[in-house]
C-alpha cells in the first residue's frame, strides 16, 4: 500500500469526525447516533473511494465498506481518547 492509500483512509476518518461534530451540534440529544452516522458514512465513503481512487487499499465492495466503516468508527474513538486524556484521573 502506498501513502496515497493510507491518506484516503485518513481522509475518511476526518470526514466522519466532522460529520459527528455536526450531529453533536444539532439541538437534539443525538449523542447515541454519532457512532452510527460515522460508521454508515465511512462505509459509503469507502465504497466511493474504491470506485474513484486508483490506490485505495481495497479491491472489492465488501472490503472497501469494511475499511470505510472502521475508519468512520475510528473518528468516534479518536474523539473519546481526546476526552479521556483531558479529563484526567484513572482510565
Closest CA to 74 of 12, 1, 4: 12
Phi, psi of 89 (to 5 degrees): 80, -165
The per-residue pLDDT for 88 is 65
The per-residue pLDDT for 8 is 79
- On whether residue 89 sits in a domain, the answer given is no
- On whether residue 47 sits in a domain, the answer given is yes
- Count of structural domains, the chain: 1
pLDDT < 50: residue spans in the chain: 1
The per-residue pLDDT for 81 is 77
The per-residue pLDDT for 1 is 46
- On whether residue 91 sits in a domain, the answer given is no
pTM of the model: 0.81
The per-residue pLDDT for 65 is 94
- On whether residue 37 sits in a domain, the answer given is yes
- On whether residue 90 sits in a domain, the answer given is no
Q: Residue 11 is part of which domain span?
A: 3-82
- On whether residue 88 sits in a domain, the answer given is no
Amino acid at each position: 500500500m502506498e501513502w496515497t492509500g493510507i491518506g484516503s483512509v485518513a481522509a475518511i476518518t476526518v470526514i466522519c469526525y466532522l460529520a459527528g461534530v455536526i450531529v453533536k451540534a444539532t439541538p437534539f440529544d443525538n449523542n447515541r447516533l454519532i457512532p452510527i452516522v460515522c460508521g454508515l458514512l465511512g462505509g459509503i465513503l469507502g465504497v466511493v473511494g474504491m470506485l474513484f481512487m486508483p490506490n485505495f487499499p481495497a479491491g472489492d465492495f465488501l472490503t472497501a465498506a469494511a475499511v470505510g466503516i472502521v475508519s468512520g468508527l475510528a473518528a468516534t474513538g479518536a474523539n473519546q481518547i481526546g476526552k479521556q486524556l483531558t479529563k484526567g484521573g484513572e482510565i
